[in-house]
A and B are shown apart, each in its own frame.
Chain A
Amino acid sequence: MPLAGLVFGRERIGFVLLRREGDTLSVMQARETLLDRPLDPTDRGSVQPVAQVVKTLTAEIAGRYLPLHVSLADSLCRMTVLELESAPADRTGQRSLAAFRLEREVGRPPAGIDCQLLGQDDGKSLLLAASLDEDWAGYLGDILTHAGLVPWSLGANLLCQFNRFHERLTTNASGGALLALSPDAWSVLIWDAQGRPRVIRSRVRQPGADDFETVAGELERLILAYVHGASGREIAAIHVLAGDPAMALMLDRRLKTPSLRIDPLEGCRWENGAEPPSDTIASMALAAALTPA
């Protein structure tokens, strides 16, 4: 069965339709669109035009029943790993706790709350809590509704990429870090020796001369904070997921250690004239499409 992935960035929307054939991903369609102006939940008048853009992008799946996975720019999501003395055993209790902690951090009621129990570490329960900004949830929901689409899942870009390359990233017995760079945001996910996410950060990217420098400095700070947070913590490798080679070079120079680059389009075969996307936005849609059902 074909799989469809739709990704919303701040200014870009990407769509991918693919089929999984063993280890190869047969891509039937890959498109991306740069919007006239950034998505803005306060601009209700933009719902219809953006919905029309989405409709055009997803023309191949119009009227078809396919699992459509939608992923969002990480900066629109709030994700954190809570270290708790004890976590509620039932799912409802875990959700309530996650909602409480996220609301306290953000200062306003979040929407689309979900959580995942990651197990125990040093006697503490690890609970991954994630939510979406309420305004953004309503805004994107309206766009999808007007475009006639019903998503199967709605997730964050970074988590989709982490899942897609999970086996490769977590082969090392130590922890690691993944830096995902999109045209309008950057995100970091640090995992421990058991392959569990421990630190997740995302920021809107500020274009400028010191952009890479800022990202590299923030990444270094996060890694140090994590490693020094408890004994036995180690980051063995930094993986970079970006279409820009300059980013990897900047990181290597700043961190004094070579990073591992991941080709976001590896394992893809392009069908019927479908062309590899020029940007990473479509690769994120690719990762979204591969979200486990």
Chain B
Amino acid sequence: MKVTVNFLPPRLPLLAIMSGLALVTALAGVSLAGWLMFDSVQLRAQIPALEQRLASLQQQSKNVRTTAELPDEHALNDLRRRVSALNRYSVATGWSAPTLLAWLERHLPDDVYLAGIQQNLELGTVKLTAESADATALTLLLGRLEKEPHYREILLVRQGPRAGRVDRMQFVIELKERR
């Protein structure tokens, strides 16, 4: 009987380990292949439904194109013209009517009453008609308007007693905006 004593620690069963690794790898490969085949079958089963859905969407797309057609050239030109006019109006730099009225609310003297107002946004002019029992109040209002930097010119167009009321004076002031 030959002696097989070896003082080295027992070696790892390399062949068994390699075989085990190969087996695990092979099993993993087979499992992956099976899963891919299963997934492929599932995807193929979805194809008819997806094709039908695609056809339906294509039909809907055609319908949308036929019902929502663009306006003709003439209508488009008219629309462009209107939009251009609106744009021009919107770009006016003068005060709007609410802004002007808010200013008057704050600066109009107590015994002065506003009788009329006309505003031309295109020309940038405002015509005020006011009345008061005292000419001093008129002077005070004119002074405040002169100090307002928004207006470049303040003109007292007309001044005189109010019709039917001798005790009250009426005056018309024209304002020109600074542009």
Contact = CB atoms under 8 A, between A and B. Distances in A.
B2 A155 contact: no
B1 interface: yes
B8 interface: yes
Main secondary structure of the interface of A (DSSP, over half): strand
Contact of A128 (B5, B6, B8, B9): B5
Interface residues on B, range: under 10
Contact of A292 (B1, B4, B7): B4
Contact of B1 (A112, A131, A153, A195): A195
Interface string B1-37: 1111111110000000000000000000000000000
Interface string A104-138: 00000001111110110000000010111000010
A79 B3 CA distance: 12
B146 to A, nearest CB: 107
Interface residues on A, range: 20 to 34
Contacts of B5: 79, 114-116, 128, 130, 155-156, 159
Contacts of A114: 5-7
B65 to A, nearest CB: 75
Contacts of A131: 7
A138 to B, nearest CB: 12
Contacts of A235: none
A118 B6 contact: no
B6 A154 contact: yes
Nearest to A196: B1
Interface string A229-243: 000000000000000
Contact of B4 (A72, A113, A116, A119): A116
Interface string A149-165: 00101111001001100
A106 to B, nearest CB: 14
Contacts of B3: 116, 128, 159, 162-163, 197
A59 B79 CA distance: 98
A194 interface: yes
A155 B5 CA distance: 7
23 contacts: A111-B7, A112-B7, A112-B8, A112-B9, A114-B6, A115-B5, A116-B4, A116-B5, A119-B1, A128-B3, A132-B7, A151-B8, A153-B6, A154-B6, A154-B7, A154-B8, A155-B5, A156-B5, A159-B3, A163-B2, A166-B2, A196-B1, A292-B2
Given A114-B5, A131-B7, A166-B2, 14 more contacts: A111-B7, A112-B7, A114-B6, A119-B1, A130-B7, A137-B7, A151-B8, A155-B6, A155-B7, A159-B5, A163-B3, A195-B1, A196-B1, A292-B4
